[in-house]
Amino acid sequence: SQKIEQNSEALNIQEGKTATLTCNYTNYSPAYLQWYRQDPGRGPVFLLLIRENEKEKRKERLKVTFDTTLKQSLFHITASQPADSATYLCALENAGNMLTFGGGTRLMVKP
């Protein structure tokens, strides 16, 4: 069966450090992978999209990598700030235009 796995344990890091979040998937061949941020009680907010033929994508302090051989995406936040504290969701497009989300990883950045 298809699975998207993100580390369900919270990631605690110190302000200024780089946060690295992992998304692994099985039994998918996604053409695209997306990362979203979700704050408590709010809707997901789009951050980055990476296509299967792209190895890396950057936007300001964010970087995403996509390894279709390993079936893994890594999401990096450099120079992290307390305001980056949130849950980060990985989402794969599945069967047309539906997004299948992972369970998310909660990031806590401490001052």
Partner 1 sequence: EPEVTQTPSHQVTQMGQEVILRCVPISNHLYFYWYRQILGQKVEFLVSFYNNEISEKSEIFDDQFSVERPDGSNFTLKIRSTKLEDSAMYFCASSETTGGTYEQYFGPGTRLTVT
**Three-class secondary structure of residue 83 per DSSP:** helix
Alpha-helical (H) ranges within 1-111 are none
Site for partner 1 in 57-96 (CB under 8 A): 89, 91, 93-96
Structure tokens at 30: 């996604």
The residue (of 40 and 111) whose beta carbon lies closer to partner 1 is: 40
Determine if 97 is a binding residue for partner 1 (CB under 8 A). yes
Among 49, 62, 74, 108, binds partner 1 (CB under 8 A): 49
Structure tokens at 88: 């980060």
Q: What counts of helices (H) and strands (E) characterise the chain?
A: 0, 11
Q: Which residues bind partner 1 (CB under 8 A)?
A: 30-32, 34, 36, 38, 41-46, 49, 89, 91, 93-104
